[in-house]
């Protein structure tokens, strides 16, 4: 077995889990609106793929303090990028930009909290 296999497998599982979690959060916040579930899935996937691609360019930091600073920067950028993508996907629908911002904030807060707990406990992603 290759040494990179657990790293890739765990990372993929976390990514898929976070996308599922963000999808569920989106559904909970938008449950009373008549939004197409397929559109929500595509929006959440697109938002996470784009924010992940931008995240590749964020350094990890050589010290613990720098690591947490860049982690915070990545968190804030993910919220902004995902919110803007949600606006683009739902601009002609009955959901407000403010509600989309709340969805992006809550979804990323929970996802980044899970990631922080995992990395804090030194679990290999």
Check residue 68 and give its pLDDT.
81
pTM: 0.83
CA-angle at 77, arms to 75 and 82, nearest 5°: 100
Query: In sequence order, what DSSP letters do the residues of 13-66 get, joined into one string?
Result: HHHHHHHHHHHHHHHHHTTTS---HHHHHHHHHHHHHHHHHHHTTS---SSHHH
- Give per-residue pLDDT as tens, 87-107: 999 998 889 999 999 999 999
Check residue 3 and give its pLDDT.
44
Check residue 125 and give its pLDDT.
46
End-to-end CA, the chain: 17
Phi-psi region at 38: left, alpha or beta (left = phi > 0; alpha = psi -120 to 50): alpha
Check residue 25 and give its pLDDT.
94
Mean pLDDT per segment of 10 residues, for the chain of length 125 residues? 49 84 92 88 94 80 79 92 96 92 96 81 51
């Amino acid at each position: 077995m290759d040494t990179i296999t657990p790293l890739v497998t765990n990372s993929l599982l976390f990514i898929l889990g976070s996308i599922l979690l963000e999808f569920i959060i989106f559904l909970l916040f938008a449950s009373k609106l008549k939004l197409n579930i397929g559109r929500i899935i595509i929006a959440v996937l697109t938002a996470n793929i784009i924010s992940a691609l931008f995240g590749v360019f964020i350094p990890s930091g050589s010290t613990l303090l720098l690591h947490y600073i860049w982690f915070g920067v990545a968190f804030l950028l993910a919220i902004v990028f995902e919110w803007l993508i949600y606006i683009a996907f739902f601009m002609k629908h009955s959901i407000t930009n403010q509600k989309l911002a709340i969805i992006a904030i809550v979804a990323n807060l929970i996802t980044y909290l899970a990631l922080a707990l995992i990395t804090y406990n030194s679990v290999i992603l």
